[in-house]
A and B are shown apart, each in its own frame.
Chain A
Amino acid sequence: MTEVGRVLGTDDARPLDFWVAVADGHYLQLDDVVCTSTPLPDGTQVTIYGVVDQVRARYEGARFDSDVFRAAEGLLPVGIASAAHVSVTRVEPEVFVPPLPGRPVQRAQGLERERALYFDRMEHRFPAGLGRDGQVVWGNLEFLDGTRGAHVNIAGVSGVATKTSYALFLLYALFHHPQAAERTRRARAVIFNVKGEDLLFLDRPNARLGDEQRRRYESLGLSAQPFQDVALWAPPVRHGFGELVPSTVSRQQGVTPYAWSLREFCQRRLLAFLFADGDGEGSQLPLAIAAAERFLANETESQPASQSWVMLAGRRVTDFQDLVDYLQEHRDEVFGAARVSAATVDALLRRLQGSVDAVGHLIRGDLSPEQEEAHRIDVQARQLNVIDIHSLHDRAKRFVVGVVLKQLLQAKDEQGTREPLLFVVLDELNKYAPREGWSPIKEVVLDIAERGRSLGVILIGAQQTASEVERRVVTNASFRVAGRLDTAEAERSEYGFLGPYARARACILKPGSLFLHQPELPVPLLVQFPFPAWATRPEEVAEVEDPWSRVR
């Protein structure tokens, strides 16, 4: 171990933080891992590990700020003192005494680094990224897979390529790293594509991946490959005939259109998810929604799975517009039993009418039994399931997300075991689980956050501003990640885990860098993750070159 300095005696050394005077010819930088030891009177050596979170240098012997000019002219002799502040991560044995001033401080390497960051205690672990020293930062798998904790929450401003990229990197590491893969072999993941058609190429190699980035994958113990086992789901083209065609532009091959049958919509009570925009709890609307759902479910209870349309009181309803019309025409039968005002029913019908355009092509009565089977989102077939919702109307987005999550949770509920795990990547949590208001989709997200740990549904949630997300969703996450943050946002209490120094740094983080906080470590660690090995947009897809193309 290299000695880099000694514990400073001119600032208080405390059991949880101390200053190190950096020796001549050495340096300590932010995020360096150090250790020192201090003797007890009985001869026991207490080893203290920590991470550098602040460094400073100053003149000694200068009295005024302007003395710097005198020193530069050679008029005033001054000394330079460098010091680094260390936040203690671990004390072994656990005797909380301050390191004594003057004790030598070493850079923690190898096993000492593992100890300092608790990696040695992690029985099952996954690579969470690279530290700034180029070495692996491990995450404790037991705090992710539900054994002792679950869920990841990622915060960061958009456009810095952090949230989704890191979520994908995590999935890649979880699925492909030998130490993690043995636990995730049968796991599945669902990710919603909300921006462009970015995630439709995860199974293609990235043409812009350089050798340096490949080496970073190597240091992580990963191969630089695209995702191997990917299913792509997209909404169908709106006004198509016959076979459903995916509405995606840049890629059609291998993309499966998804849709629900009207029958399933009625039987499984999915109507509420059309109203997932956070209605006030005081409103009567939920009552009216429940009444309509009950009516539709009762009417279609015994209808065979072979038909995708529904028969309502002898009338054959074959598309969503029909269904809405039916409800409008028979409002007294549908809502009669519920004590809701005419105005509330009007509001409900108005909204339903308004969503016909948005979801009419997703809720269909024209599917054959084979089609219904083929276009139902099934996440079990492939490891990674990308569900494209980027082109959908906002109302339809919420519907798809809400229904998919609800159905996944139901399936896990029925299955009753934690394994195999199901990872759900959901960006824009502030939209789906806002701090204020109630909605069916928020209920599902909360359900995942609170029961997901025991059900084996792991939420990798992301949002720009954690302060706008339901508190319980954020606090249930064992892993807290912060990319670049807005300055004002970083000051909020949701980011208390960052501590004062990381908070300030969070405002200047570069793409590909973020702070990771995990349960065992009292300080956040700066981690970096490599450039995606998979294409994240059409231009990045590495074409397999046709050897004849140049000849022709």
Chain B
Amino acid sequence: MTDFFSNLSITSNGFFVFVLVALGVYYLVPKKAQNYVLLIASYLFCLTWDWTFAVILFASSVVNYLVALIVDKTNDTAKTRWLWFGIAADVSALLFYKYFDQTSIYFFKALFRIGLTKELLTLELLQPIGISFYTLQAISYLVDVYRKQIPVNNSFVEVSLYLGYFPKLLAGPFERAQNFFNQLRADVQIDNAQLIESFTRIFVGLIRKLTISETIVRMIPFGVFVEPQKYSMPDLLFWWLTFAFVIYNDFAGYTSIARGVSGLFGIQLPPNFEQPFFSTSYIDFWNRWHISLSNWLRDYIYLPVSRAMLRRNPSGRYLPNLIVPPLVTMIVSGIWHGAAPHFILWGALNGLLQGYERVQKMFGKKSPAQPPRWKRVFNISVTIAVLILINAPFKFDFTQTLAFWGGLFRWGIIQTLSIHQIIKPVLAVGLSLLIDVMQLPGKDELGLLRLPKWARVFLLTIGLLLLFLSTRQAAVAPFIYQEF
């Protein structure tokens, strides 16, 4: 029983029992107590991982709640000082729990090399679940209150829920404070139509995670991503391409389930993906991939950097104004993903690509607003191919990245691509694209609901069968973004 409710992942049976109980209590208690129920459920969820995580989340909630109140009440100079205090407190916690062990290892390795230490010391800190996500949300709340974009919230329960609301605690999506607070206070009657939407999101999310992502993960040969130098170009290319669909479906699946579960409580969370593999440019891709993080980075990094640059030189054709803001933004994104140098390289490469595209748009030949179909397909293919290649440092460290890129120029014996090995990954990728095509018209997870009834029944039947078979497998791998 204890195992059933320990480290609740949102695809576990325990989680769905937990949600059912929480829903039951939520709709039974008087309306005024509903937010308290959500808060208690969120902390219970956190406790299933580790009690210290709940304490850290609570401390963060208290600090940000109080700092926001003070920022709202004080005059200009003190206000700025308190804002920076709040941001420093949030960032310090993140640096300590997420980055200390990651970065200290480089420091101790350097000491080790010059003989100043004989062992690589780490504090072996457990990274609190969701800390990367609720820290950014806390900062955005403080900044929004500071800028007077939103009124300060006097309810500690609402602020705590904003940071710790369990459907989005593990890996987002990032929600805007005011939007979330408004929903906590709104009168909503959940009817069958809303339930169907929520269950559709959960169903699609489970298919993405369990049937697509997990199926591919199990088929990827162990050595390919561990020693890429031992494999030839076709092996590396095929598995790397399929791995792109693992990351996508893993994260899009998580978001879809989180949004579906939240919808059952009458709270709509923002979307995170908009069929990113149909992007026609690099900027377009980042507007479709992890949208809530992209929006956060745009509002709190990109735009302030851009404004600062424009204050120095207001010309829109000045090259640094075009290149530096996306470069800085994507490097920050890289560091947010992890403190290792390869994440910085990953961010820098993506930032440079976006900068290149902005320069090209500014100085290059103008393309028609509606390019012909072949041009769109060509643009999509080139964009995705380039992005998939330059995203190697997202998965590999420096040495492995170089080995991987080197391997792409090595035509050797194909070791891992026999027919039986590629059938499941190819079918899984096909299913992923089919879901994207269905979702394209509405740009959400509800494409299934727009089909005629016979098609819905057909796809649901196949989907339920696939889902049942997928859940028969061994333990499900944790969500990739949960690790961030």
Do these two chains really belong together in a complex? no
Query: What is the interface of chain B, defined by CB distance below 8 A to chain A?
Result: none
Query: What is the interface of chain A, defined by CB distance below 8 A to chain B?
Result: none
